[in-house]
Amino acid sequence: MPKQKTTASPIKKAPTHATKEVAGVKRVEKKSAKAVGRLLGLKDYVGTDFLSWDLAMTKAWELARIFGFSALRTPIIEDFDLYKKSTRKNSDKEFYFVDFERGEKAVLRPELTQGMIRSYLENKMEELPQPIRLFSVGPIYRQEKMATGRYRESNQFDLEIIGEKKPMSEAVLINTAYRYFKELGINVQLQINSLGDTDSRKEFNSKLLAFYKERGRRSKLCNHCKKNLGKNSLALLDCREDSCIKIREGAPQIADYLSAASREHFGKVLEYLDELGIPYNFNSYLVRGLSYYNDTVFEFWPVGDDGVANSKLALAGGGRCDSLVESLGGKATPCVGLAIGLERAMIKLKEKNSFATYADEEELVYIAQIGEQAKTKALLLFEELRTAGFNVRQSFSVDSLRTQIEEANALKAKITLVLGKKEVMDETILMRDMESGVQEIVAQKKIKEKLDKKIIRKVGVIYG
């Protein structure tokens, strides 16, 4: 029988074989022909991934609130015009188009900033006392070339200060991100530069173009930079390809072309950072791909155990974008923003095993039950303790006490409460200290009081 011609699917999939560790040996597993694989560049969060995810998110919400940012949630799908108008045209980022409604060009958002500004305008936040401090957390989509730590779906923690021109806003944003990494135990180096205002850049751009066109430099550039030369020459300085890093040596420096106002503004930002004790590296090549930035731009790079900062896996980036609100239909309004990449932060947390320590810090109360009557009572007790702020766990679908105790051990519960028929009748609970193994019978109405002596209540954080 002649071989049937198959049409290749236009959608690329992740490899259909995965490695699985069986009894300490790595084996390559072939999936069945029917199995549908993950799409390329997308990631599943499995098991312990959620501990580092939880830690990265909880810290984001905690710090955003402490530093006075209000939460905002915007749609994942936005009108393509939002990005076309706000100068994504010179960006590297490739869009995922969505067939939303006939004739309407919609995309999966490639970043959070534009949606947040749209929402600021649409919800008339410009009429409120300025500045407005907003934060948002959620997924973004970019059709990118695959690389370590680069996904097509990733999540950002985005902070924006809208309506404030003063250099203090840069200091507040940078400080929030710096504390975020510090409190998560992630070593970072702040890279900072000033791109100046439009006036500053006019002369600089022509000098830069002339530099790159000189003595065969152009032919040695990577393909992407070759295309960008003349369109967004500034972005060439920031290319992270080794060949382009070599070529840029000796290029003109934007610092020599800053207007007096831009020089003063940047000087003040650096002064605040000194006051706050935030070390920085003045990096005259830091430009950031997008053309909506002016004046201060910055990134946080991870620092390895060898003390070397890695420019290829930036953890966060941001800057001043004073033209953005106006370009989206608002009145001229200064703005400064920052986005932290949560997956990159998670990579660092996993390297350091920080999430395990974080999980250990939770003081858990496990509620075990034996018999039907006890199950009902345990359900009520669970709700009572949970709403009182205790960190409670259970497995009500399991009948065996042994299995429940094993689970309590696996969760590293500090206390296990056991309810059986006798306890239900006597209105008592068996309270077991899992570390010492000491058990005591406690009256049900005294349980919170007893737990308070052994455990710290924790008020849960709600996030989306």
Q: Using CB under 6 A as the criterion, which residues of the chain lie in contact with ligand AMP when the complex forms?
A: 111, 142, 144, 149-151, 154, 156, 314-317, 339, 341, 343-344
Output 140 or 417, the one with its CB closest to ligand AMP: 140
Q: Cis omega before residue 334 (within 30°)?
A: no
Cβ neighbours of 457 (radius 10 Å)? 14
Q: For ligand AMP, give the closer residue by CB, 188 or 370.
A: 188
Residue whose CB is less far from ligand AMP, 144 or 326: 144
Number of H helices, E strands in the chain: 15, 18
- Give the residue at shortest CB distance from ligand AMP: 341
- Both structure tokens of 356: 């395990």
Do residues 408 and 393 touch, judged by C-beta distance below 8 A? yes
* Nearer residue to ligand AMP within complex by CB, 40 or 261: 40
Do residues 453 and 415 make contact, with C-beta atoms less than 8 angstroms apart?
no
Q: Are 114 and 34 in contact (CB under 8 A)?
A: no
What backbone torsions phi and psi does residue 398 show, to the nearest 5 degrees? -95, 135
| Between 325 and 339, CB nearer to ligand AMP | 339
Q: CB of 159: closest distance to ligand AMP in angstroms?
A: 12
State in angstroms the smallest separation of the CB of 318 from ligand AMP: 7
Q: What is the smallest separation between the CB atom of 41 and ligand AMP, expressed in angstroms? A: 8
Residue 335 or 451: which CB sits closer to ligand AMP? 335
Do residues 133 and 160 lie in contact, with contact meaning Cβ atoms separated by under 8 Å?
Answer: yes
What does the DSSP 8-state code read for residue 147? B
Residue 372 φ/ψ, nearest 5 degrees: -60, -50
Shortest distance in whole angstroms from residue 178 CB to ligand AMP? 14
Give the nearest distance from C-beta 298 to ligand AMP in angstroms: 10
Considering beta carbons, is residue 154 or 176 the nearer one to ligand AMP? 154
Closest CA to 154 of 373, 361, 343, 427: 343
CB of 137 to ligand AMP, least distance (A): 12
CA distance 163 to 145: 36
Q: Looking at beta carbons only, is 299 or 423 nearer to ligand AMP?
A: 299
Nearer to ligand AMP, 118 or 344 (CB): 344
Question: Chain-centre distance of CA 93, in angstroms?
Answer: 17
User: What whole-number distance in Å separates Cα of residue 93 and Cα of residue 316?
Assistant: 16
132 touches 162 (CB < 8 A): yes
Shortest distance (Å) from residue 108 CB to ligand AMP: 12
Place of tokens 């059986």: 420
**Angle 292-294-300 from CA coordinates, rounded to 5°:** 90
Cα Dmax for the chain: 92
Please check whether residue 382 is in contact with residue 392, taking contact to mean a CB–CB distance below 8 angstroms. Answer: yes
Whole-number Å distance between alpha carbons of 178 and 188: 8
Indicate the residue among 93 and 386 with the shorter CB distance to ligand AMP. 93
- Which residue, chain included where needed, has tokens 């006490």? 401
Provide the minimum distance between the beta carbon of 344 and ligand AMP in the complex, in angstroms, as a whole number: 4
Query: What is the nearest approach in angstroms of ligand AMP to the Cβ of residue 286?
Result: 11
User: How far is Cα 108 from Cα 153, in angstroms, rounded to an integer?
Assistant: 10
Q: How far is the CB of 453 from ligand AMP (least distance, A)?
A: 44
Q: Which of 151, 181 has the CB closer to ligand AMP?
A: 151
Report the nearest approach of ligand AMP to the CB of residue 246 (Å). 23
- Crossing angle of helices 49-66 and 342-351, rounded to 10°: 120
**At residue 208, what is the residue type?**
L
